[in-house]
Amino acid sequence: MQLVFNLPHMLRLKAMSQPWEGSVTGADQTRMAKCADAWGYDMIAVPEHFVIPVEHVELSGPHYLQSTVAQAYLAGATERIRLNSCITVLPLQHPIVLAKALATADWMSSGRMMVTFGVGWLEGEFEALGVPFRERGAMADEYLAVIKELWTSDSPHFDGKYVSFGEMAFEPKPVQKPHLPIWIGGDADAALRRAAKFASGWWSFLTPPEKIADRVDFIKSQPHYDGRPFDVVHGLGTRRVGEGHVVQDDPDGRPGMSETEIVDRLSWLGEQGVTVSAVPIPPVGGVDEYLDYAQWVIEVIKPQVP
């Protein structure tokens, strides 16, 4: 089981954040990322929104980073850990510009970048950026094809509804071949079909963990799935956040579980097909206490989980 290091103050969700997290600075995050890197965590993942409509701020919070910029910075501050997003809102960004940013970061980090794409859900955010909300799925499919074309073709060209180009060069290509890993976030059938066609991983959000195995079977039954290795992400605290970021109770993902409870739950998730997870932050008083807990997780918990 790979473990994600939950970097505090990536966002301030009512369902998950503790009061002290709002005071965590970029310098604190840099120090914490270096610790996670040295201790052997597998990944840091960065959430993304550009703007939050005021009616969503109570549940969603106002604080989000631009995922690719933050990933690139964290890659420069570390040596071995992989940098992912959770998620990058694909339809809100021009695919040529985004492909360039991700390829640049992958090249400069010696191949440690990943990306999890989603179609987004905040209609007001789309309105603010002038992007048609009802077309976001079609846009995402086309943008994914564009990005893969730019990353893999020596003479990239594309002729689509939203993007067309030809007779151009695109470098640097990603260090990772055929390209840096693409994962897809979301739980609708359309998202899973997108994962089967374009991705090597799926980040579940609203899927009940007891249904993950069935949903993975659905992905692998799609005609575009070719048998490639496929990762599945489900953090222990995922079910504490419902649709629209509403607060939910999840007795199987509460922070502060015992060693045995955490190991048993991670092992059970592994049996459902989950390959990547995270342990939620327990009630602590600040950065140093959290780092003590995070070190305990990687030293005590991870060796016990297949």
Chain-centroid distance of CA 58 in Å reads 22
Burial 279-288 (b: 16+ CB within 10 A, else e): bbbeebeebe
Q: Tokens in use for 104?
A: 């640049």
Evaluate whether 163 touches 142 at the Cβ level (below 8 Å): yes
The pLDDT value recorded for residue 133 is 98
What integer pLDDT is reported at residue 248 of this predicted model?
66
**DSSP class per residue in 241-282:** B-GGG-B---TTS-TT--HHHHHHHHHHHHHTT--EE-PPPP
The 8-class DSSP code of residue 241 comes to B
Mean pLDDT by 10 residues, the chain (306 residues): 97 86 97 98 98 95 97 98 97 98 98 98 97 98 98 97 96 98 97 98 94 98 97 88 73 81 96 96 93 97 95
| Amino acid occupying residue 154 | D
- The closest of 220, 261, 230, 235 to 10, measured between CA atoms, is 235
- Tokens 């070719």 — which residue? 226
Pairing mode, strands 82-85 and 182-185 = unpaired
Residue with tokens 């016990």: 304
Q: Provide the whole-model pTM.
A: 0.94
Domain annotation for the chain: domains and CATH numbers? 2-301 (3.20.20.30)
Contact 92, 61 (CB under 8 A): no
Q: Which pLDDT value is given to residue 154?
A: 96
